[in-house]
């Protein structure tokens, strides 16, 4: 009978499991949902680190607007396997997709139109910690395990010394279950559009570009986590001095532990002047007074954003009951 290594079994499990998307954002515990998220065209990963999809994923939909954030406050990124499914009953990303959680920011002139080609600096990471009771990297502590334990949520402090203005915030998971061969790492990222207010303006972090920040041969990209690990180097630059690092395995705190969908008011971002909406059947949300643009989300399980579609499009179920889109 054919035998299977742990790595083979993990790869098979990973291929069978659903992928995932960073899709919602909380600001100081207030739920903005997906309003300022550029939702990727699918929940599949990026595997080519030289691709421009490394910036904000492949074919992201335009975000509805920009989330206002005060420098020094905390935002909470949220990941789930299906868009619109914000239930805690499923893992944020399944299939033993273990790896780090990383967050970058980029100062831009207009977060609504920036393409992600400007420089990025790392403001957060939750990487790896050894589990002395384990026998392989699969048994160790990982940022992804923390994400799964906290209902897909990860608290990220916006540095207090940033200059006020527009930023893109890029949340990323690097899944390493098939990373033992070149091109095997799976990268999942979403860009959020922010307007930061009240910063001291003293920050001058060094930046990297996507693509370019990672190489396929980086030790944090090309790694067999199914063997015993003595160390793990999170890809990319160090977290800059104003950012934060979470120790893998340290548990849920803040909004990670206490925030619950529907527990408070959901703010609505202002619409562009002159937009025209048509009522969208089957939207599935409660925010019917605003307008979703073509190809944006308009409904689905747990969705609380716009349920009306811009004139000329209608809300259609794409992945029922989780996701409906204006088409």
Per-residue DSSP letters for 198-234?
Answer: S---------B-TTTS--TT-TTTS--TTS--S----
The pLDDT value recorded for residue 292 is: 66
Q: Are 81 and 43 in contact, with CB atoms under 8 Å apart?
A: yes
The pLDDT value recorded for residue 321 is: 66
Digit-coded pLDDT (tens) for 183-220: 999 999 999 999 999 988 888 899 999 999 999 999 99
The pLDDT value recorded for residue 202 is: 86
Q: Provide mean pLDDT across the span 234-250.
A: 97
Q: Are 209 and 120 in contact, with CB atoms under 8 Å apart?
A: yes
Rounded CA-CA distance 176/166 in Å is: 32
What is the residue-averaged pLDDT of the chain?
86
Per DSSP, which regions of 15-148 are E strands?
Answer: 21-27, 30-31, 37-38, 67-70, 74-80, 101-108, 121-126, 128-129, 141-142
Q: How far is CA 188 from the centre of its chain?
A: 7
Rounded CA-CA distance 193/109 in Å is: 11
The pLDDT value recorded for residue 265 is: 77
The pLDDT value recorded for residue 319 is: 61
- pLDDT confidence tier of residue 299, bands split at 50, 70 and 90: confident
Rounded CA-CA distance 129/46 in Å is: 25
């Amino acid at each position: 009978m054919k035998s299977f290594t742990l790595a083979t079994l993990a790869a098979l499990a990973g291929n069978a499991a659903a992928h995932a998307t960073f899709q919602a954002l909380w600001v100081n515990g207030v739920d903005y949902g997906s309003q300022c998220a550029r939702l990727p065209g699918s929940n599949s990963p990026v595997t080519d680190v030289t691709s421009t999809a490394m910036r904000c994923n492949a074919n992201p939909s335009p975000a509805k607007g920009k989330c206002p954030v005060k420098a020094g406050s905390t935002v909470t990124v949220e990941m789930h396997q299906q868009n619109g499914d914000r239930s805690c009953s499923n893992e944020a990303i399944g299939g033993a997709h273990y790896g780090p959680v990383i967050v970058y920011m980029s100062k831009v002139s207009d977060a609504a139109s920036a393409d992600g080609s400007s420089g990025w600096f790392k403001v957060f990471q939750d990487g790896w910690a050894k589990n002395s009771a384990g026998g392989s990297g699969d048994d160790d502590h990982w940022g992804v395990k923390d994400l799964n334990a906290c209902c897909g949520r990860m608290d990220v402090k916006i540095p207090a010394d940033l200059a006020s203005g527009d930023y893109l915030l890029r949340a990323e998971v690097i899944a390493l279950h098939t990373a033992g061969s070149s091109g095997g790492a799976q990268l999942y990222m979403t860009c959020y559009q922010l307007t930061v207010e009240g910063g001291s303006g003293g920050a001058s972090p060094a930046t990297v570009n996507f693509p370019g920040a990672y190489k396929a041969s980086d030790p944090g990209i090309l790694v067999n986590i199914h063997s015993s690990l003595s160390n793990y180097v999170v890809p990319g630059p160090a977290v800059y001095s104003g950012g934060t690092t979470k120790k893998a395995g340290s548990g849920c705190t803040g909004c990670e532990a206490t925030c619950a969908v529907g527990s408070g008011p959901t703010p609505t971002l202002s619409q562009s002047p002159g937009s025209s909406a048509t009522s969208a059947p089957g939207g599935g949300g409660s925010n019917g007074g605003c307008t979703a643009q073509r190809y944006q989300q308009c409904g689905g399980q747990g969705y609380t954003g716009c349920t009306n579609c811009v004139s000329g499009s209608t809300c259609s179920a794409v992945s029922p009951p989780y996701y409906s889109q204006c088409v």
